[in-house]
Structure 1
Amino acid sequence: MWVEIIIGAVFFLTVVFIYNSLIAKKNQVKNVFGTIDALLKKRYDLLPNLVATVKGYMQHEKELLTEITEVRAKAVSGRMSDDEQVVLDNKLSKMLGGIMVAVENYPDLKANQNFMQLQRTMNELEEQISAARRAYNAAVTNFNNAVEMFPTNLAASMMGYKAKKVFEISPEQREDVDADKIFKS
């Protein structure tokens, strides 16, 4: 009889440990995604200032500035899934890179103190977003390992947990930088 009680207690404690472990991993993913979300909100809040500052100088990039404004409006609407937000964030990162490259063609803009401060702030924010993405990917990998590995995969499937996507760079961001195109003036 004692053997059955001990085996039952060990089994129960194992189930509790696995359950709590999965909950902790899921919450870690949520926490880190919340950090990314807060940083992206800061970025979205800076965009109107950036667009307003460069608008007067960058007459040839009006289409890009309009598109950035539209993407920002969609991003702050709050009606997106996490996966849609990741796609939108990748698109916005590419467009911001386009602005920073286009700035090279506008010496007056590069001399504008307001723009220089915004550019420094955006660069710092991009570094923070990059660090948060790395932390998110680590948390997601940890969660996915638990969801896919035995024996935690049994509990995860009963709880309805599925593997999550990591932040990946877009195919455009993987392409080599064309230095001739950037420095051609």
Structure 2
Amino acid sequence: MLVVLAVLAVIVVVVAVWAIATYNGLVRLRNLVQEAWRQIDVELHRRHSLVPNLVETVKGYAAQEREVFDEVTRARAAAAGGGLGPAKQAVSENALSGALSRLFAVAEAYPELRSSENFADLQAELTNTEDRIAAGRRFYNANVRQLNTKIETFPPNIVANMFSFRRAEYFEANDPAVRAVPSVHFTAGEAPGSAASVDGGPSFGGQRGGYDPHRDA
């Protein structure tokens, strides 16, 4: 009888240790997912902030392209509104990417705009931001995959169900993005070919290069 009780006690201890370890592992993975999403969100804010400056810069050379500007502005407002989960945020970011594609297509028709230093700097900053979002997205989705696999796998799913752990959403945007940088505008009488002024903010550095809205993000 004592042997049986001892065996049962050992089993209970082993199960308890396993359950605690499994629970702690799930918490760690959930925290990694949340932290990875916060890092993406920072870069998305940065992307959203660059968009108004790009629009204002292009307006200085192509003011008649109002329909494209309105489309980009609406898409940016929807993406920057906040309160969206990763899946819905991805849909908004993809819509913004499509609008930005049309904005850059407009820019291709204006050689003076493409040769503008201010436009090139904004373009390079957006490209660099997209690269950081792409890296963050890969890290985030890898952690989501680990968490979801553990939640769905037996026997860890027993602990996951007991403590209400839920599957995390993947972030499947084509290329991510921003929210609050100094506004760029052309002063009255300023020639479209001259550099635009930037109010109260840092200059945009980084390597020169074209923006590809379909880069792997």
TM-score range for the pair, normalised by the shorter chain length: 0.7 to 0.9
Deviations 1:76-120 (A, max 9, x none): 333333332121111112222232233221101001110000000
Residue identity opposite 2:6 in structure 1: W
Structure 2 match to 1:87? 91
CA contact (8 A) 2:90 2:173 kept: no
Rounded to whole Å, the distance in 1 between the matches of 2:94 and 2:163 is 31
Residue identity opposite 1:99 in structure 2: L
User: Which of 37, 48, 55 is 1:51 aligned to?
Assistant: 55
User: Which of 13, 28, 31 is 1:24 aligned to?
Assistant: 28
Unaligned regions of 5+ residues in structure 1, if any?
171-185
CA contact (8 A) 2:86 2:169 kept: no
CA shift, 1:60, in A, is 5.0
Structure 2 match to 1:67? 71
TM norm structure 1: 0.83
Whether 1:140 and 2:144 are equivalent positions in the alignment is: yes
Residue identity opposite 2:107 in structure 1: V
Structure 2 match to 1:181? none
Rounded to whole Å, the distance in 1 between the matches of 2:173 and 2:56 is 28
Structure 2 match to 1:7? 11
Rounded to whole Å, the distance in 2 between the matches of 1:154 and 1:58 is 60
CA shift, 1:2, in A, is 3.0
- Count matched residues: 170
TM norm structure 2: 0.72
Residue identity opposite 2:61 in structure 1: Y
Residue identity opposite 1:31 in structure 2: E
Which has the larger helix fraction?
Answer: 1
Query: Pairwise CA RMSD of aligned residues?
Result: 1.8
User: Which of 110, 121, 125 is 2:114 aligned to?
Assistant: 110
CA shift, 1:122, in A, is 0.4
Rounded to whole Å, the distance in 2 between the matches of 1:164 and 1:157 is 14
User: Which of 154, 163, 167 is 2:167 aligned to?
Assistant: 163
Relative distance call for 1:61 and 1:149 in structure 2 (3 A) is: farther
